[in-house]
Amino acid sequence: MKYQTQKVAYPYFILATLLFGLQVIFGLITGAKYAWNVDPLMHILPFNVSREIHINLLVVWLLFGFMGGTYYMIPEESDTELYSPTLAYVQFWLFAIIGVTAIVGYLLGWSWGMPFTEQPFIIKVGIVIVALMFLYNILMTVLKNKKWTTIEGVLVAGLTALAVMFLFGMFFMKNLSTQYFFWWWVIHLWVEGAWELIAAALMAFVMMKLTNVDRTVVEKWLYIEVGLVLFTGITGTGHHYYWIGTPAYWLWFGAIFSAFEPLPILFMVFDTLRMAREKHLQITNRLAMYWAVGGTIMHFFGAGVWGFAQTLPQINKWTHGTQITAAHGHFAFFGAYVMLILTLVYFMMPQIKGLKNYNQTKGFVTFYTTVFFMLMMVLALTAAGIVQVYFQRILGFDYLTAQSYMHLWYGVFFVSGLCFVSGVFLYIYDFFTLKEARSAIN
């Protein structure tokens, strides 16, 4: 760690880690409702509530992770201390309080109802204030030194886009088609636009530090990737406009442009592998490198392949809103963003804690457990989805009859989820007990 204020990242990573644990517990509760026909929690914690808590916690802890990573990175990139650590701590507590209020609100039925943007209006206003505090602090830090690195530029562009796009999900519209039209500006333009920029910048920073390659090697590709992500991501929004009451031209528009979306992700894989091979120095933090390279590959399959597989209208008319969608949702979020935050944590935490050669054993067990069982969860959901498409969409069985044929796969999903969660708990334990390795060899 070069600057004292990079430590601000610490509480952000702590909360991200704890909420990750809570998120997957709610995943299990939600999954159990699929796996069993009886639901003792039906009137206390129904499916819709446990699901909304599961996916909201996901977004919230990922945001805490992005913020922590940014607070760690920006002082080092800007060669100066953070503009205001106090503001960063105030922002941390404000966001934490807002998050807890939202979750307790969901338990009491205080919800707006659109997936991922269920937060009631007043909570959304709070989130905007938090975002402004965060952006202000970051911008003032960068401007202190008047020099922008490419990595910083991409990161700040992504964070600004993240905040701006959120505004389109704030207001209630009478017409459901209009509402969904703009809802995708938040959901799609987040994960396939703004967040991709943030991920590319943070990943570029970590790879540069891990491998010690020259900055120009990292930055050269960043321009191409970012340009392509923006072009395919923005035009690709069309793949959500097939069946929501929008004009018919979206069918070919969405099909053509979203088909290119895997391209920039594929570039990222090549780029990361290329950097990983440029060993200027002996890499001591092998674990962070595993998360980084593993993450880009999982990102490609989860978003690029599983997303592409259902992006053409000819296919999407059968698979839309089935468990095939959920399989892609789990795979893409995990590969692209969960594994990115874990890369950041395993790269930054040892430095924040002042460890030279930390013990990586538990981290590797976590890596293999979570990656393997996430793949099992995704395959189980995909299989369930194929059964669902066949019985419900092709044979025309009603929803619940089709569900009864999917039971076996829900069982596989739940058991894989249980094993996945054990990996997450090992991670949480590892996070809080990271310490120096006894020997230099890990």
- Interface residue list for ligand HEM (CB under 6 A): 24, 27-28, 30-31, 34, 51, 54-55, 58, 115, 191-192, 239-240, 258, 261-262, 303-304, 307-308, 310-311, 316, 320-321, 325-326, 328-330, 332-334, 336, 338, 413-414, 417, 420-421
The distance of closest approach from Cβ of residue 65 to ligand HEM in the complex, given in angstroms and rounded to an integer, is 12
Structure-token match 């039906």, residue found: 42
The distance of closest approach from Cβ of residue 333 to Fe ion in the complex, given in angstroms and rounded to an integer, is 12
Choices 183-191, 242-250, 339-347, 430-438; region in contact with Fe ion by CB under 5 A: 183-191
Q: Which is nearer to ligand HEM, 126 or 262 (CB)?
A: 262
Number of residues that bind Fe ion (CB under 5 A): 1
The distance of closest approach from Cβ of residue 357 to ligand HEM in the complex, given in angstroms and rounded to an integer, is 29
The structure tokens listed for 38 are 């009886």
Q: Which is nearer to Fe ion, 126 or 238 (CB)?
A: 238
Choices 15-23, 111-119, 186-194, 241-249; region in contact with Fe ion by CB under 5 A: 186-194
Q: Which is nearer to Fe ion, 26 or 301 (CB)?
A: 301
Q: Which is nearer to Fe ion, 51 or 188 (CB)?
A: 188
The distance of closest approach from Cβ of residue 252 to ligand HEM in the complex, given in angstroms and rounded to an integer, is 14
Q: Which is nearer to ligand HEM, 28 or 297 (CB)?
A: 28
Q: Which is nearer to ligand HEM, 130 or 199 (CB)?
A: 199
The distance of closest approach from Cβ of residue 437 to ligand HEM in the complex, given in angstroms and rounded to an integer, is 27
- Determine the Cα–Cα distance for residues 34 and 229; give it in Å rounded to an integer: 36
CB 334 within 8 A of CB 263: no
The distance of closest approach from Cβ of residue 393 to Fe ion in the complex, given in angstroms and rounded to an integer, is 20
The distance of closest approach from Cβ of residue 258 to Fe ion in the complex, given in angstroms and rounded to an integer, is 7
Q: Which is nearer to Fe ion, 53 or 332 (CB)?
A: 332
- Determine the Cα–Cα distance for residues 182 and 237; give it in Å rounded to an integer: 10
CB 207 within 8 A of CB 142: no
Choices 7-15, 96-104, 187-195, 246-254; region in contact with Fe ion by CB under 5 A: 187-195
Structure-token match 């060899």, residue found: 441
- Residue whose CB is nearest to Fe ion in the complex, by number: 188
The distance of closest approach from Cβ of residue 180 to Fe ion in the complex, given in angstroms and rounded to an integer, is 13
Name the nearest CA neighbour of 88 among 6, 31, 157. 6
Q: Which is nearer to ligand HEM, 37 or 282 (CB)?
A: 37
CB 388 within 8 A of CB 322: yes
Our finding on whether 188 is near Fe ion (CB under 5 A) is yes
333's contact among Fe ion, ligand HEM, none, with CB below 5 to 8 A by partner kind, is ligand HEM
CB 376 within 8 A of CB 412: yes
The distance of closest approach from Cβ of residue 192 to ligand HEM in the complex, given in angstroms and rounded to an integer, is 5
Q: Which is nearer to Fe ion, 289 or 327 (CB)?
A: 327
- Determine the Cα–Cα distance for residues 240 and 258; give it in Å rounded to an integer: 10
- Determine the Cα–Cα distance for residues 301 and 265; give it in Å rounded to an integer: 9
**Where on the chain is the footprint of Fe ion (CB under 5 A)?**
188
